[in-house]
Amino acid sequence: MTYLKTALSQQRHTFAAFTVITLLGAACAGDESPPETPDAPFDIPADGGTDTGSFDDPETATLDSFLGTWTRPFGSMQIQCEAPIGDSTKPMSGGSFLIGEGFDSELVFFNVPDCSIDMNTNAQSAIALPNQSCAVTEHAMAYYDSYVLELLPSGELSEQASFRVVITADGRQTNCTYAIEARLAPKP
């Protein structure tokens, strides 16, 4: 009987871990939309953020260069998890991601439903403030190690991120690390 309880507990924990990985994969890949009404102060330019201006001189980029609604034309997410989950790579494209003016930071980036990242800018980059975390589900907590959005001459943003997710279910804990490398383009 003890063996059966242990096996069922392991099975529930593994299911919870796969659920979190699927949710994060879908959200980061753009399969889910950001919240309709963000929980933070949020100002989008009148043009919706589609007039990103010229980026020929990155030193003249302004905060407005980051604001608006963005989509991912392409990218990838590498996931490394402890056994029994394992490692995988997922393609990323599509979706809608909002960047607005923050309250405790210059910008707030809504990258996963119900989660946001506070960022400050320096000319051509938006860099996440340190020590940020987010409850992805009741079983998973994401801890952001780094998140950088860099303005490109094309008017797009280069997105590079690394974070870890701790999944806890049935008294067990699984650690996963995520690495994102993608491109964001103004959404028409």
pLDDT averaged over every residue in the chain: 76
Dist. CA 167–CA 19, nearest whole Å: 10
Taking residues 43-56, what's their average pLDDT? 40
CB 167 within 8 Å of CB 174: yes
Give per-residue pLDDT as tens, 30-47.
Answer: 444 433 334 333 343 434
Taking residues 39-61, what's their average pLDDT? 43
Phi, psi values for residue 84, rounded to 5°: -90, 5
CB 65 within 8 Å of CB 151: yes
Question: Residue 9: which pLDDT band, with cuts at 50, 70 and 90?
Answer: very low
CB 116 within 8 Å of CB 132: no
Question: Residue 56: which pLDDT band, with cuts at 50, 70 and 90?
Answer: very low
Q: 77 vs 28, which has greater pLDDT?
A: 77
Question: Residue 61: which pLDDT band, with cuts at 50, 70 and 90?
Answer: low
Nearest by Cα to 165 from 73, 77, 36: 77
